[in-house]
Amino acid sequence: MTRPASHRPGRWTPPGAGGVAVVSLGDEAEARNSLARLGVERMPARGDLGLVRLRDGDEDLDEALLVNAPDGHVELHLHGSPPLVARLQDLLGVNASATPITAHADRAAALVAGAPSELGARVLLDQAQGAFDRALNEGLDAADLTERGRAARFLLERTRVVIAGPVNAGKSTLFNALVGAERATVSSEEGTTRDAVRADGRLGPWPVEWVDTAGERDLSQDVPGDVHNTRVERAGQELGRALAAEARLVLWLEPEGHGAATRAPDDVSHLVRLVSRASDPARPGHLAALEDPSGARARVADAFAQHFRLDPQEAWLAGRAVPFDRTSRAAVGGVPGAADRDDPGAADRDD
């Protein structure tokens, strides 16, 4: 088991002026070494603390609280003056750029109000009450925490899902079933949805941004007598393709019996194929958004969970420690950004 970042020597309150700065001195042996350089010889017993004077040779530096935690991890609690903290770190040779980590609970609390989903807010509340800090102190398995952090992003950030496919595949019908309101125009006339239509919604526990796109059909020639609209529609198709390329997930609808008339792009890896307007929507991978909108929703939720390897039953478990932002994910992974690599949408978000 690797020891948590809070137990490695280093400062772990955020840099800057504050009431108290906490410098981790590592385990008892490491701490004795460091403290000798500051003229401190007495170490409080485990689970105890004491007031000490810190000296650099003859010079009196400051008074500080020396804490020997029950697990034998030693900390100095200093007055927060940045020059003094910097000087002590210099004297101790501890790494001033160690991951700052005590503010996790505070950051989680600050994020609750802006959470895009109810379960996301509950995850944040748990961490605001210290679940994540406790896990770090207990040294929970980093791989477990990393996976929880990955899954939690789907509660804490809205996932963009683009609905694409040939014209008349039933994209707008599915979009309306997913959004739960008549938002996009549904028409049997080809080329009705010329612009992308977006709506925020929810899929099971996950907050989603749905995007309905113009359908794919051959527009290499202007439709006679309708040159302007052809151009508008072509622009809509291009927009749809651009959105599909950068979405986290593309639902590619192909109406039953459509064959290979319009091929799904094979260069998009984040694409799930579904057969739409199906005569038997109970078949795997089939849906009929018009006749069975709730079945279609369930089908899409399954596809979403499977694609992103998510278990809706595990989305939130009361009081469980979960990394919830870039800083907490980095504290677990040790390598900033390590937990993000698995996530195709990470590049366009900064948290």
Ligand X SMILES: Nc1nc2c(ncn2[C@@H]2O[C@H](COP(=O)(O)OP(=O)(O)O)[C@@H](O)[C@H]2O)c(=O)[nH]1
Residue ranges in contact with ligand X by CB under 6 A? 167-173, 186-188, 192-193, 215, 277, 288-291
Count of residues touching Mg ion (by CB under 5 A): 3
Q: Which does 230 bind (CB under 5 to 8 A by kind): Mg ion, ligand X, none?
A: none
Which residue, 120 or 281, is less far from ligand X as judged by CB? 281
Whether the Cβ atoms of residue 185 and residue 192 lie closer than 8 Å to each other: yes
Per-residue interface string for the shown chain with Mg ion, residues 191-210, x marking contact by CB under 5 A: --x-----------------
How far is it, in rounded angstroms, from Cα 40 to Cα 9?
17
Backbone angles phi, psi at 23, to 5 degrees: -115, 120
Shortest separation between residue 238's beta carbon and Mg ion, angstroms = 16
How far is it, in rounded angstroms, from Cα 104 to Cα 86?
22
> 169: buried, middle or exposed (CB in 10 Å: 19+, 13-18, 0-12)?
buried
Shortest separation between residue 251's beta carbon and ligand X, angstroms = 11
Q: Which does 117 bind (CB under 5 to 8 A by kind): ligand X, Mg ion, none?
A: none
Which residue, 34 or 172, is less far from ligand X as judged by CB? 172
Q: Measuring CA to CA, which residue among 351, 343, 292 is closest to residue 160?
A: 343
For ligand X, which residue has the nearest CB? 170
Does 172 participate in binding Mg ion (rule CB under 5 A)?
yes
Which residue, 265 or 334, is less far from ligand X as judged by CB? 265
Q: Which does 291 bind (CB under 5 to 8 A by kind): Mg ion, ligand X, none?
A: ligand X
How far is it, in rounded angstroms, from Cα 299 to Cα 247?
19
CA distances from 51 to 24, 45, 90 (A): 16, 13, 21
Which residue, 63 or 182, is less far from ligand X as judged by CB? 182
Element (H, E) at 84: helix 82-92
Shortest separation between residue 125's beta carbon and Mg ion, angstroms = 40
- Applying CB under 5 A, the residues found at the interface with Mg ion are 171-172, 193
